[in-house]
Amino acid sequence: MAVTPVDLTGAKILITGPTGQVALPVVEHFAKIADVCALARFRKAEDRAQMEDMGATVIAADLADAQSLEAVPEDIDYVLNFAVVKSGDFEYDLAANGEGVGNLMLRCRNAKAFLHFSSTAVYEYCGHEPRREDSPLGDNHRVMFPTYSISKIAAETVCRFVAHQHDIPTTIARLSVPYGDNGGWMYFHMLMMKEGIPIDLHPEKPNYYNPLHARDYIEKIPYLLGAATREVTTVNFGGSQRVSIEQWCEYISELTGFEPVFQDNPQAFGSLCIDTTRMHELIGETSVDWREGIRSQLQALAPEVLR
Ligand SMILES: NC(=O)c1ccc[n+]([C@@H]2O[C@H](COP(=O)([O-])OP(=O)(O)OC[C@H]3O[C@@H](n4cnc5c(N)ncnc54)[C@H](OP(=O)(O)O)[C@@H]3O)[C@@H](O)[C@H]2O)c1
């Protein structure tokens, strides 16, 4: 591995989007060893309580509103920007996701490193070709989330612009399919299988992704922060194993007895697997086997469905 991980023990870390599926286990982990500030709009009182129970300091702010970010302390060491909004309103979503990362970086311009979470949804559809960081970009997720891919691409551009203008060491990590004991895409597939709801699949099968378990992404965050440069490091971030929707549904079927009903739909997201070369060079391979990860997820969220 080319990168030395940063030591986050005792560091002041700002985590945005802390109540989301991806960041929640990150807050839970780092609040035990570091000084974590958790930033979201916090429209629900129970979300605040959950953060406080984990030991994080709550900051209620909206990334679309630069003024509201004055609540962020000026001595943040590291930023993990997970926040995302998919309201379908282009004006707001571009302001929150695109300008939002810029607003945040300006507020935290003295941070030692800024880690922005992007998505492989920024890549154009290209069949089974593993996507490299320099592969063509496109409006991949338009069918389900009209503003998502475009605003994630916009966010990356704003992030690079501000990093370059203000010399902020930055990494952009393009997440594949994050999952863990608190949820993930395959959990929705299990629920659909249970109810006999058809699962749409792109006809160019199999539909490959790189599921990334929470244990792995938590372990890799200090490395991604260590990889941050003023030129900005952009890297795919998925599991080292390539797995298809068909494979994980078949495995869920083995565990539960529920049969998947697949339905061809050329509009469905197609294969979106990643080229892991740069990721492996920088931060090494992931370690959680996808079958172990899925079994553990069902055990945690729905033990009654396991045979
Ligand atoms: N989940 C996946 O499968 C997946 C796949 C690839 C990449 N990613 C990336 O991973 C990151 C986390 O995704 P997720 O699925 O965990 O998201 P999520 O579950 O939708 O959670 C979004 C989080 O962002 C906060 N947020 C939304 N709008 C905000 C705003 N205007 N200002 C401040 N905070 C705001 C939300 O809290 P409030 O509503 O209280 O503000 C919430 O904490 C995102 O960057 C996403 O693009 C996710």
Collapse the DSSP code of 302 into the 3-class scheme (helix H, G, I; strand E, B; otherwise coil) and give the result.
coil
- Residue 297 CB–ligand 1 contact under 6 Å: no
Q: 195 pLDDT band (50/70/90 cuts)?
A: very high
As beta bridge partners, residue 115 has 80, 171
In sequence order, the 6+-apart residues with CB closer than 8 A to the CB of 68 are: 60, 61, 62
Q: Compute CA distances 87 → 63, 92, 145, 147, 251, whole Å.
A: 14, 8, 8, 8, 33
- Residue 123 CB–ligand 1 contact under 6 Å: no
Number of neighbours of residue 242 by Cβ within 10 angstroms:
20
Number of neighbours of residue 213 by Cβ within 10 angstroms:
26
Give the atom of ligand 1 at the shortest distance from the alpha carbon of 43: 40
Quote the CA–CA distance of 270 and 75 in Å, as a whole number: 43
CA angle 178, 180, 183 (to 5 degrees): 85
Sheet holding 57-60, edge to edge: 57-60, 35-40, 12-16, 78-81, 113-119, 170-175, 233-237
Tell me the whole-structure pTM to 2 decimals: 0.98
Q: Are 2 and 226 in contact (CB under 8 A)?
A: no
- State the distance from the centre of ligand 1 to the C-alpha of 261, rounded, in angstroms: 29
Quote the CA–CA distance of 46 and 7 in Å, as a whole number: 31
Backbone angle region of 118, left / alpha / beta, with phi > 0 → left and psi within -120 to 50 → alpha: beta
Give yes or no for residue 1 having a pLDDT over 90: no
Which protein residue's CA is at the shortest distance from atom 25 of ligand 1? 17
Which protein residue's CA is at the shortest distance from atom 5 of ligand 1? 177
* Per-residue pLDDT reduced to its tens digit, 174-189: 999 999 999 999 999 9
Mutational pocket test of ligand 1: of 15, 22, 149, the residue with most ligand atoms within 8 Å of the beta carbon: 22
Tell me the average pLDDT across 255-270.
Answer: 97
pLDDT reported for residue 302: 98
Give yes or no for residue 129 having a pLDDT over 80: yes
- Residue 183 CB–ligand 1 contact under 6 Å: no
- Residue 16 CB–ligand 1 contact under 6 Å: yes
Quote the CA–CA distance of 199 and 112 in Å, as a whole number: 44
Backbone angle region of 28, left / alpha / beta, with phi > 0 → left and psi within -120 to 50 → alpha: alpha
pLDDT reported for residue 40: 98
Alpha helices (H) along the chain: 24-30, 45-54, 90-93, 100-107, 148-166, 185-195, 214-226, 245-256, 277-283, 290-301
Give me the phi and psi of 148, to 5 degrees please.
Answer: -65, -60
Which protein residue's CA is at the shortest distance from atom 7 of ligand 1? 119
- Report the mean per-residue pLDDT for the chain: 98
Give the atom of ligand 1 at the shortest distance from the alpha carbon of 63: 32
Quote the CA–CA distance of 168 and 118 in Å, as a whole number: 17
- Residue 15 CB–ligand 1 contact under 6 Å: no
Domains detected in the chain: 12-305 (3.40.50.720)
